[in-house]
A and B are shown apart, each in its own frame.
Chain A
Amino acid sequence: MSNQPLRKLLVVDDDLDILKIVEISLEGMTGVTFKYCSSGQQAIKEATTFHPDLMLVDIMMPAMDGFQLVQAIKALPELSNTPIVFLTAKIQKDEIAECHKAGVDYIIPKPFDPITLPDQIKEIWEKVQVC
């Protein structure tokens, strides 16, 4: 994959406070368009039209959790290659293994540092590009 800048980021979390904090912390990222969703269903709907470069997804959500969302996204042909990052409190060793099993290689543990969050996302984006 050629080295493209990150243009579109979709953030999914059922907790509106966290969504707001992510929004504020990412304000400084220039050249990136953000979409914020508070449920899995909404995220699928949004993604099909928004076509994000990267998705930041919470795991524990009501109705449709992060794993189900990943599965649904991977099932959509036009979105199946979209890299997904879990933003989660599930950071026990076995839980991390579960994430890898679901095909998600990158995890930003909660609580995250909003100051360094943009850098972390950039770092992950660079790694994704290399792969």
Chain B
Amino acid sequence: MFNARLEKFHLQVVWVCSLACILIGLIGLIGWGFNLPSLLRVIPNSSPISFNAVISFLCSGPMMLYLCSHFQTTTLLPRLFGLFLLLYNLTIFIQIEIGSAFQIDTFVAHYLFSNPLKQSSAIASLGALIFTGTAFLLLPTKRFYKWNVFIYLLTSVFVILIGSLGFLSFFVPIQATFSIFQKSTPITFLAATGFHFLGIGLISMASYVMFRQRLFIHGLYPIITFIGLFIFTTLVTYGFYADSVHTENLVSRSSDLWNRPFVFVLEISGITISIAAGLLVHFIERLRLRAEQLYESDEKFRFFVFATNDWIWEIDLAGNITFSNDSVKAIFDDPDFDPTKANYFDLMTAEEQGKARKEFQDLVAKRQGWSLTKRRWKNKTGIDVWLESCANPVLDSAGKLIKYRGAEHDITQQIATDKLKNEFIAMVSHELRTPLTSISGAIALLGQIVDSSTDKGKQLIAIAKSNCERLTHIVSDILDIEKIEAGKITLNIEPINVKKLIEEVISDNMVYARKWGKELVFEGCDDELTIRADNLRVKQVFSNLISNAAKFSYPNSQITIAVYSNHNSVSFSVKDSGPGIPEEIRAHLFEKFVRAPTTDKSGVTGTGLGLNITRSYIALLGGKISLVTKKNVGTTFTFDLPKYDERSNP
């Protein structure tokens, strides 16, 4: 709790300081550009040298803001600021050198060195350059994290020291070592304040980083810092030196400098090193990013591999386990199990091992993986465990198969549940059918006896009989749905002559259709037309569609079956004349338990499962079903099935 609050506080300090830096920079820039007299008195009094300091602050502020808000990745912004500072200093250097070489009083040279205060500019801009470099590197590793914080703190203290001296020199005349401050104009005050803010901000940042404890530093950090400090020292020396010359005319002084090889070498070194440092920082930043990504992906990998209940493994081509997560211990019920000392195949049941090894050798030869393979294993207590596995071959850089990597999912429970479900379905099937057999048999026999007695009796028998049939249908439908959903439908695909099929369909369903007062009509088709399908299932599809058409059409109407031959398929349609399918159920027609109202007063029959089963069967047979319905005209269901092709199916 304390840490969280402190962390928040530090972050706020960084924000305030950064904003202050930006503000100071802006004031300086405006004052310099527009020569504002009254409002910001300190600025107009300053020399143009403040421009340099102002730019530095303008860059440092956003950089710090960026750092505290965006601690993790994206690095474009600080890089841009760093680049700007680098180019800025480079421009100054070039202009001075050109000015001195060609005796030209360049723009920057004219303003920059027109006042003895230039050294504060040198300090400020170089300081900012170092901050930028430091800022790059501050973004986080665990290994050098303490070093990073230490150096950051040192830099911050240094910046505060400069600020404090400047501050002091504004009020007290200081001699000797810090003579630069003595000669300062009021602009120093602004720079000094700015440095103060920078220092405080940096210290807060360091503390913030410490609290966050998610640092990421590259090992080259100390070298970079050394280079930064070297540039800093070089340019400060240069500033001091230039100040000591006391020449008002820049050009002549520059020429003077030109003649002093030591300073020139220092200057060139400073610039070269700062460019190199910039590049190095860029390079390190990329390395850091990559390391961070690797670290993140490694962390992610560890999380997924060790969080899952599935067994994740790697095996060599002899089946020796070379990597495994800990889930294997739970799966095999053995907390002390060391999978890396085991052979993958030895863990299977005796009867499974031989088969699995052979299949594995075949797959190795073909360099293939496997998926959804169910195998029986044995746990520590000798109980069978069913695992479903998927694996992929792993190749080395030369393309040679070296190992397999895969995962096993424990399906023991699922297998047990499936078995129970199957037993339950078989039990329900038998247990429901047995009493149904007695009831329907008794009703049928009773019907014969009652036949000669009253109409009322006959009606009651008919009701009992039709409901018995309905119940029988429901049981069959539920069993069908169960089978389809469990994917346990076995199809017997064979060539089927369409004409013969439809004739059989009509003879099978004629009685039922007549019972509803409907006539089945077949428009005829080519004698040779043949489809590839499962005879039983296609007939069931027709029965479902015909029974729907019979129930949901006008009395004494026709149900027409038509056949169309397409290029690769044969389309079948079952058309009725009826009220059509109400719009509100049309979209859900193929879902389970959806029924349309019937056309007569006898009420609705059926489970609402028929069309669902129909669609599933057609899909299994490789076809599609669709319908066209028109209010008070009728409905046509059309489905297509693959045509039998002798060439492709010899």
Contact between chains at A114 and B429 (CB < 8 Å) = no
Q: Which of A21, A92, A112 contacts B442 (CB 8 A)?
A: A21
Q: Which of A24, A89, A92, A93 contacts B437 (CB 8 A)?
A: A89
Rounded to whole Å, the gap between the CB of B431 and the closest CB of chain A is 9
Contact between chains at B441 and A111 (CB < 8 Å) = yes
User: Given A18-B441, A111-B440: A93 and B536 within 8 A (CB)?
Assistant: yes
User: Given A25-B445, A93-B536: A112 and B483 within 8 A (CB)?
Assistant: no
CA distance A17 to B479 in the complex (A): 25
CA distance A24 to B437 in the complex (A): 14
Which residues of chain A come closer than 8 Å to B435, judged between CB atoms?
A: 17
User: Given A18-B441, A25-B441, A89-B437: A115 and B479 within 8 A (CB)?
Assistant: no
* Interfacial residues of chain A within 78-105, with CB under 8 A of chain B in the complex: 89-90, 92-94
Contact between chains at B429 and A93 (CB < 8 Å) = no
A123: interface (CB < 8 Å): no
**Which residue of the partner chain B has the closest CB to A87?**
B437
User: Given A89-B430, A94-B490, A112-B437: A21 and B472 within 8 A (CB)?
Assistant: no
B507: interface (CB < 8 Å): no
Which residues of chain A come closer than 8 Å to B450, judged between CB atoms?
A: none
Which residues of chain A come closer than 8 Å to B440, judged between CB atoms?
A: 111, 113
Q: Which of A89, A92, A94, A112 contacts B441 (CB 8 A)?
A: A112
Residue from B434, B437, B490 with most neighbouring chain A CB atoms (10 Å): B437
Indicate with 1 or 0, residue by residue over B431-459, a CB within 8 angstroms of chain A CB atoms: 00111111111101101100000000000
Which residues of chain B come closer than 8 Å to A110, judged between CB atoms?
A: 433-434, 436-437
Contact between chains at A92 and B434 (CB < 8 Å) = no
CA distance A110 to B435 in the complex (A): 10
CA distance A15 to B444 in the complex (A): 18
A60: interface (CB < 8 Å): yes
CA distance A126 to B395 in the complex (A): 68
Contact between chains at A60 and B430 (CB < 8 Å) = yes
Rounded to whole Å, the gap between the CB of B321 and the closest CB of chain A is 39
Which residues of chain B come closer than 8 Å to A113, judged between CB atoms?
A: 440-441, 444
Which residues of chain B come closer than 8 Å to A112, judged between CB atoms?
A: 437, 441
Rounded to whole Å, the gap between the CB of B528 and the closest CB of chain A is 29
Contact between chains at B444 and A89 (CB < 8 Å) = no
CA distance A109 to B442 in the complex (A): 16
Contact between chains at B437 and A111 (CB < 8 Å) = yes
Which residues of chain A come closer than 8 Å to B442, judged between CB atoms?
A: 17, 21
Which residues of chain A come closer than 8 Å to B472, judged between CB atoms?
A: 111
User: Given A94-B490, A111-B440: A89 and B445 within 8 A (CB)?
Assistant: no
**Which residue of the partner chain B has the closest CB to A115?**
B444
Contact between chains at A92 and B429 (CB < 8 Å) = yes
**Which residue of the partner chain A has the closest CB to B440?**
A111
Rounded to whole Å, the gap between the CB of A57 and the closest CB of chain B is 14
Rounded to whole Å, the gap between the CB of A117 and the closest CB of chain B is 8
Indicate with 1 or 0, residue by residue over A27-71, a CB within 8 angstroms of chain B CB atoms: 000000000000000000000000000000000100000000000
User: Given A92-B479, A93-B536: A114 and B430 within 8 A (CB)?
Assistant: no
Which residues of chain B come closer than 8 Å to A111, judged between CB atoms?
A: 433, 436-437, 439-441, 468, 472
Residue from B444, B448, B468, B483 with most neighbouring chain A CB atoms (10 Å): B444
Contact between chains at B434 and A21 (CB < 8 Å) = no
Interface residues on A, range: 10 to 19
**Which residue of the partner chain A has the closest CB to B435?**
A17
Contact between chains at A89 and B433 (CB < 8 Å) = yes
Which residues of chain A come closer than 8 Å to B430, judged between CB atoms?
A: 60, 89-90
Which residues of chain A come closer than 8 Å to B434, judged between CB atoms?
A: 15, 18, 89, 110
CA distance A24 to B449 in the complex (A): 12
Contact between chains at B438 and A114 (CB < 8 Å) = no
Rounded to whole Å, the gap between the CB of A90 and the closest CB of chain B is 7
CA distance A34 to B247 in the complex (A): 139
CA distance A17 to B445 in the complex (A): 13
CA distance A22 to B437 in the complex (A): 10
CA distance A94 to B433 in the complex (A): 17
Rounded to whole Å, the gap between the CB of A15 and the closest CB of chain B is 6
Which residues of chain A come closer than 8 Å to B436, judged between CB atoms?
A: 110-111
CA distance A25 to B479 in the complex (A): 29
Rounded to whole Å, the gap between the CB of B425 and the closest CB of chain A is 9
**Which residue of the partner chain A has the closest CB to B432?**
A89
Rounded to whole Å, the gap between the CB of A21 and the closest CB of chain B is 4
Rounded to whole Å, the gap between the CB of B424 and the closest CB of chain A is 14
Q: Which of B429, B441, B448, B468 contacts A21 (CB 8 A)?
A: B441
Contact between chains at A90 and B429 (CB < 8 Å) = yes
CA distance A92 to B441 in the complex (A): 21
Residue from B434, B441, B442, B448 with most neighbouring chain A CB atoms (10 Å): B441
User: Given A15-B434, A110-B437, A111-B437: A92 and B445 within 8 A (CB)?
Assistant: no
**Which residue of the partner chain B has the closest CB to A59?**
B430
Contact between chains at B441 and A114 (CB < 8 Å) = yes
**Which residue of the partner chain A has the closest CB to B429?**
A89
Contact between chains at B438 and A18 (CB < 8 Å) = yes
Which residues of chain A come closer than 8 Å to B441, judged between CB atoms?
A: 18, 21-22, 25, 111-114
Contact between chains at A92 and B438 (CB < 8 Å) = no
**Which residue of the partner chain B has the closest CB to A19?**
B438
Contact between chains at B490 and A93 (CB < 8 Å) = yes
Residue from A22, A93, A113 with most neighbouring chain B CB atoms (10 Å): A93
Which residues of chain A come closer than 8 Å to B433, judged between CB atoms?
A: 89, 110-111
Contact between chains at B445 and A24 (CB < 8 Å) = yes
B-to-A contact residues, CB < 8 Å:
426, 429-430, 433-442, 444-445, 447-448, 468, 472, 479, 483, 490, 536
15 contacts between A and B (CB under 8 A): A15-B434, A18-B434, A18-B438, A25-B444, A25-B445, A89-B430, A89-B437, A111-B433, A111-B440, A111-B468, A111-B472, A112-B437, A113-B441, A114-B445, A115-B448
Seed contacts A21-B442, A25-B444, A89-B434; 18 additional CB < 8 Å A-B pairs? A15-B434, A18-B441, A21-B437, A21-B445, A22-B441, A25-B445, A89-B430, A89-B437, A90-B430, A94-B490, A110-B436, A111-B440, A111-B441, A111-B468, A113-B440, A114-B444, A115-B445, A115-B447
